[in-house]
Structure 1
Amino acid sequence: MSTRAPSDGDPPARGFAAELRDAVTPRSLGLVAGVLALQLGFILSYIGALHSPTPHRIPVAVVAPGSAAGQVVATLDGLKGDPVRARTAASERDARQMIMDRTVDAAIVVDPRGATDTLLVASAGGPAVSTTAEQIATELEGTRHRQARVVDIRPPGAKDGRGLSSFYLILGWVIGGYLAAAILGLAGGARPAGPRRSVIRLGALAACAVVSGLGGVVIAGPVLGALPGHFLALWAVGTLVVFATAAATAAFQTLLGIVGIGVAILLFVVLGNPSAGGVYPRSLLPPFWRAIGEWLPTGAATTAVRNVVYFSGHAIAHALWVLAAYAVAGTAAAIGSSVIRRRRAGTPAAG
């Protein structure tokens, strides 16, 4: 068997170190290191937020005659670990309204003529916090040698298992928003050629948001029956969620290049998902996740959708303002940075 001798046209043999330098460039090594950081951050954030849910100042109303109301409030506020923030309500009707407008998460109605009190909960707002309220009420009644009867005044829909469909719908919208922006950035350049290109890209993302919002509502409502009704309101919220996430991602890419995609994943997934109040309401999360949840799109959107579906749209103003802020700030940052970069390059801003 013969072997061919190297000819003058063959490329010169390269050593392993040279091949390694070509295969793993400093830029690719930096990106892999960034992915590793996100991966470890994902593990830390999810386990850190969800491994040991502990109640913290769950708002509870107390209905009781005379001085008994103040005594129950003082007992609840004095529980170890500060799990409850209690307040009085004038009547059971008022307590029910406070639950439905999301002023409180539960209410204890003391029966002065018997030994069984009533615990009012709304598990559609989060089954975990309702269960925790029941446990706290049981502990309270045990110290007073009384019984507690649980009444769920707003359970999840028949096809909305454990009230989590709102959260899963939001996850789909948020993931779709940042992926759409990321794909447009990778296909056409993370930093658009100019402000006109940024406007076109944002317009495409807005159209995608409208379609995505509609598709999500159709699937969650008419197709699966998990979140029926409120079609137009949910469509509007979904459109805002997707565009807010997409515009913010586009802004991160315009400012930071491909690294901006990692920043979007950090905010919307690594930090946003466990702090959203989907699996466990924010009152059961550790302080850090409890503090950031309502200021991130995932948490704001989960609150908005859940309250639209089950609580007549009460207490959603803050959530809508947060989503609108991401949409407006993302749009302004994406276009503004394109204008600045074009001017620094010394070319007309309209291009």
Structure 2
Amino acid sequence: MHSSLAKRTAGVALGAALLQLLMIVAFTWPATRTAPHDVPIVVAGPAAEATAERLERARPGAFDIEVRPGADEARAAITDREAYGAIVTTPAGPRVLTASAASPMVAQQLTALAESLSGAPRGAPVEDVVATDPDDPRGSGLATLILPLVMSSLAAAVLLTFAVPSAAWRAAGALLFAVLGGLGVAGVAYGWLSLVPGPYLLVAGVVAATIAAVTAVVAGLGAAVGRAGIGLGALTFLLLGNPTSGVATAPEMVPEPWGAIGQLLPPGAAGTFIRSALFFDGAGAGAPLAVLLGWAAVGFALLGVATFRTAKREEAPDREPVPA
């Protein structure tokens, strides 16, 4: 007995150590390799072609450059979420158009890049076309909102799994939690901390979609697989989804192909959806919303299958033939 217990203890310790190493790598590797990879930007104005060539030579592979005629077209590309910023060439030197609401880090890099191109001691003039909320000028508050949303949604799924025996009522609980959580978080993010421009009900709806995606899937996996399913959901969303989300930087700043993979998971899709819906009038919000709704649909479908199986098991004794 002692031998079996010793082996089990050693196995748990070894597994925990491997999981710890995996988590360290997952969280630190993207952070230490943060750099632009085909970040969409626009170069406009009379010297756009020459400036684009200079950028390609100076930073090969860093930017996906599109040349447009003038500043108006460059602004349209930014507000439509087709580009993170623009460099507009003029006879007096380059001007920079940024969108700190899309990515403060990319905005900073574009500003520094334009300053090196201008050669002027004061640098190039900068216009923030789509700015973050004045009470969160660096966008750090909005960036840190996603991880607590995911973690609290995971906790809610675990509580529902162990406290509510019926899968159907777990689905109802997940939906109710998404609504209440959306209203509550919107009150904090919009009403108190002023991290987003609002309106309140739109913020609540955006947050509720994120909560529903995570809670429903983890609760559904718990109903379908048991504790292993909860662990699988937690590891997928936290260990893989959070480091690759690009919420604090941009998906194009995460090492390839992990930035694109992160947009297919709830944390990354939630970050893009929140920025698009609340700062860009919905431009670019379709794809991340589809990802969140798709995950939520999978979760509620798993809960529905578990409900159906439970009902079949309860009906099974009544259908057994009565012995003669």
Using the size of structure 2 for normalisation, the TM-score is 0.88
* Cα drift, residue 284 of structure 1: 1.3
Partner residue, 1:314? 283
Aligned-residue Cα RMSD (Å) equals 2.8
1:267-286: CA deviation from partner (whole Å, max 9, x where unpaired): 21111222222222111111
Between the aligned residues of both structures, percent identity stands at 30
* Cα drift, residue 124 of structure 1: 1.8
Structure 2: gaps of 5 or more residues: 319-324
- Note if 1:200 corresponds to 2:169: yes
Q: Is the 8 A contact 1:57 1:85 kept in 2?
A: yes
Q: Is the 8 A contact 1:301 1:323 kept in 2?
A: yes
Return the alpha-carbon distance in structure 2 between the equivalents of residues 53 and 296 of structure 1.
19
Structure 1: gaps of 5 or more residues: 1-16
Partner residue, 2:79? 100
* Cα drift, residue 225 of structure 1: 2.3
Partner residue, 2:158? 182
Check 1:126–1:318 CA distance in 2 against 1; reply closer, same or farther (3 A cut). Answer: same
Q: Is the 8 A contact 2:45 2:88 kept in 1?
A: yes
Q: Is the 8 A contact 1:304 1:319 kept in 2?
A: yes
Check 1:301–1:31 CA distance in 2 against 1; reply closer, same or farther (3 A cut). Answer: farther
Q: 1:150 aligns with which of 92, 104, 126?
A: 126
Q: Is the 8 A contact 1:56 1:82 kept in 2?
A: yes
- Note if 1:333 corresponds to 2:302: yes
Q: 1:301 aligns with which of 259, 270, 274?
A: 270
Q: 1:249 aligns with which of 208, 214, 218?
A: 218
Q: Is the 8 A contact 1:129 1:280 kept in 2?
A: yes
Tell me the SS of whatever aligns to 2:124.
Answer: strand
1:262-311: CA deviation from partner (whole Å, max 9, x where unpaired): 21221211112222222221111111321211101011111111222222
Tell me the SS of whatever aligns to 2:232.
Answer: helix
Q: 1:61 aligns with which of 37, 42, 46?
A: 42
Bigger Rg over Cα:
1
Q: Is the 8 A contact 1:110 1:117 kept in 2?
A: yes
Q: Is the 8 A contact 1:121 1:151 kept in 2?
A: yes
* Cα drift, residue 173 of structure 1: 2.2
Q: Is the 8 A contact 1:62 1:88 kept in 2?
A: yes
Partner residue, 1:123? 100
Return the alpha-carbon distance in structure 2 between the equivalents of residues 297 and 131 of structure 1.
27
Partner residue, 1:51? 32
Q: Is the 8 A contact 2:42 2:87 kept in 1?
A: yes
1:93 counterpart letter in structure 2: D
Return the alpha-carbon distance in structure 2 between the equivalents of residues 30 and 344 of structure 1.
36
Tell me the SS of whatever aligns to 2:75.
Answer: helix
Tell me the SS of whatever aligns to 1:107.
Answer: strand
Partner residue, 2:143? 167
* Cα drift, residue 118 of structure 1: 0.2
Q: Is the 8 A contact 1:213 1:238 kept in 2?
A: yes
1:221-246: CA deviation from partner (whole Å, max 9, x where unpaired): 11222224221111111111111101
Q: Is the 8 A contact 2:26 2:239 kept in 1?
A: yes
Return the alpha-carbon distance in structure 1 between the equivalents of residues 309 and 136 of structure 2.
48
Return the alpha-carbon distance in structure 1 between the equivalents of residues 288 and 75 of structure 2.
23
1:107 counterpart letter in structure 2: A
1:39 counterpart letter in structure 2: Q
Q: Which runs of 4+ in 1 moved over 3 A?
A: 28-38, 77-81, 138-142, 144-147, 337-346
Structure 2 counterparts to residues 11-26 of structure 1, below 5 A: 18=2, 21=4, 26=8
Tell me the SS of whatever aligns to 1:123.
Answer: coil
Q: How many residue pairs get matched?
A: 318
Q: Is the 8 A contact 2:40 2:64 kept in 1?
A: yes
Return the alpha-carbon distance in structure 1 between the equivalents of residues 159 and 176 of structure 2.
15
Partner residue, 2:63? 84
Return the alpha-carbon distance in structure 2 between the equivalents of residues 330 and 237 of structure 1.
18
2:21 counterpart letter in structure 1: L
Tell me the SS of whatever aligns to 1:275.
Answer: coil
